[in-house]
Amino acid sequence: MKVAVIGQGYVGLPLALAAAEVGYQVVGIDSDPVRVESLNAGRSPIGDISDLYLQGQSIYYKATTDFSEIADADVVVLCLPTPLDSAGEPDHSILLAGATAAAEHVGPGALVINESTVSPGFTRDTLAPLFAGRDVAYSPERIDPANKSWNVKNTPKLVAGISDMACDRAVYFYSKFVTTLTSYSSIEVVETAKLLENSFRLVNISFINEIAEFCSAMEIDIREVIAAAATKPYGFMPFFPSAGVGGHCIPVDPQYLASKAREIGASTRFIDLATKVNLERPSYFVGVASGILGSLTSKKIVVIGVAYKPNVADVRETPAESLISLLRSAGADVVWHDHLVGQWNGEVSAALSVGYDLAVLVNPHDGTDLDALGSIPVIDTRGGI
Ligand SMILES: NC(=O)c1ccc[n+]([C@@H]2O[C@H](COP(=O)([O-])OP(=O)(O)OC[C@H]3O[C@@H](n4cnc5c(N)ncnc54)[C@H](O)[C@@H]3O)[C@@H](O)[C@H]2O)c1
């Protein structure tokens, strides 16, 4: 069976290699020639995929920019970015561009699976017509970068199709390398389930962030509060404070749900409020910094860990960006340190030392040398007082 995976990023590459590992003939298609060259040279652009593992799949896996490779593929999987546009609205344009390019080549008997996160109804109403006459299915990816326990093979996968046949074919395809698969009555159920999962995280993280602000004002240790509440064996799930949610999913996907709700005249007040609380977190910490230093003018501040989560180099939607920008607007002399990110926004990671007036911990990685800060004041956005 030949499989074409369109988009070789955080989602598409692990999927393509897992499929190659079980003997599918896999071609990974990506519009970025530098990425394709790197993949074919056995150099992985993704932290979770080692060069050794990539090189080990070279018999059954190759990368290309050539969409005509799709022509004899039995299965075509779309793993393309679905970000927000400059107005904060869903931007399906990259997915549509890739799907349209794929549709020019896809064979008559191919199964097309969308893994990109989309608004409910998008797969049936917009993608499926591009692939008219083919079986089309939806199966959202749930990958959690840097998670050592859960990966593409052992994370339960949801599947639905525009027909029973499409669903059955998708389940058969995944069953060779995914241990738990569940299928559902409609694509819209699964599209909405994916958005529910990430909206649930946005709402709960924003909630704990607000509680953290309350605890800070009361001089109560929020981490001890969470640990205490988490002893309840049912009905509670711990979430932890931060400078705000980041990454390609948690701040983004709920907007796909909210946008669809607006379109049909339904409300998503929890998502709207959680988004507001989340976006206000960086300015809250500017206030905390002023509380410690007084005027921030010319104060030397280092922001530590600018990736959107610990132990990844991904800075998409990171709250560190807004935090740095707000601190600079307040007159501070701000640098950042992140040994995994290294270079970002035309700047390089600064060394850690005792030569700062203040350090702000956003997402320090394992191995970040916080001892190098000596005894300078530190704001820990993860719940330190
Ligand atoms: N990153 C995650 O943790 C995660 C988790 C679950 C779901 N998702 C969803 O999966 C989808 C893909 O996200 P990702 O994080 O893998 O994105 P990504 O940016 O890491 O990778 C996308 C890849 O697609 C390529 N690409 C862009 N346009 C193309 C085109 N027209 N043709 C071919 N290739 C093209 C890019 O060069 C890039 O390599 C999104 O809908 C996202 O919401 C992401």
Is residue 167 part of the annotated active site? The answer reads: no
Give the full edge-to-edge strand order of the sheet including 333-337: 333-337, 300-304, 358-361, 378-380
Check: pTM over 0.85? Answer yes or no. yes
Run of H or E residues at 222: helix 222-229
How confident is the prediction along the chain (385 residues), in pLDDT tens digits per residue?
999 999 999 999 999 999 999 999 999 999 999 999 999 999 999 988 999 999 999 999 999 999 999 999 999 999 999 999 999 999 999 999 999 999 999 999 999 999 999 999 999 999 999 999 999 999 999 989 889 999 999 999 999 999 999 999 999 999 999 999 999 999 999 999 999 999 999 999 999 999 999 999 999 999 999 999 999 999 999 999 999 999 999 999 999 999 999 999 999 999 999 999 999 999 999 999 999 999 999 999 999 999 999 999 999 999 999 999 999 999 999 999 999 999 999 999 999 999 999 999 999 999 999 999 999 999 999 997 5
Rounded to 5°, the CA angle 156-157-162 comes to 155
* Helix/strand/coil for 69: helix
Ligand 1 pocket: which of 15, 80, 96 to mutate (most atoms <8 Å of CB)? 80
Token pair for residue 332? 């501070």
37 in Cβ contact with 175 (< 8 Å): no
Q: Which residues contact 210 (CB under 8 A, 6 or more apart)?
A: 277
d(CA 73, CA 59): 17
For each of the domains in the chain, give its residue range(s) and CATH number, in order of start.
Answer: 2-185 (3.40.50.720), 200-380 (3.40.50.720)
Ligand 1 mean position, distance from CA 80 (Å):
4
Ligand 1 mean position, distance from CA 314 (Å):
12
d(CA 20, CA 288): 50
Ligand 1 pocket: which of 104, 248, 311 to mutate (most atoms <8 Å of CB)? 248
27 in Cβ contact with 4 (< 8 Å): yes
- Amino acid, res. 227: A
Dihedral (Cα; 164, 165, 167, 170), 10-degree rounding? 170
d(CA 264, CA 120): 11
Signed CA dihedral, 226, 227, 229, 233: sign only? positive
Atom from ligand 1 closest to the CA of residue 253: 43
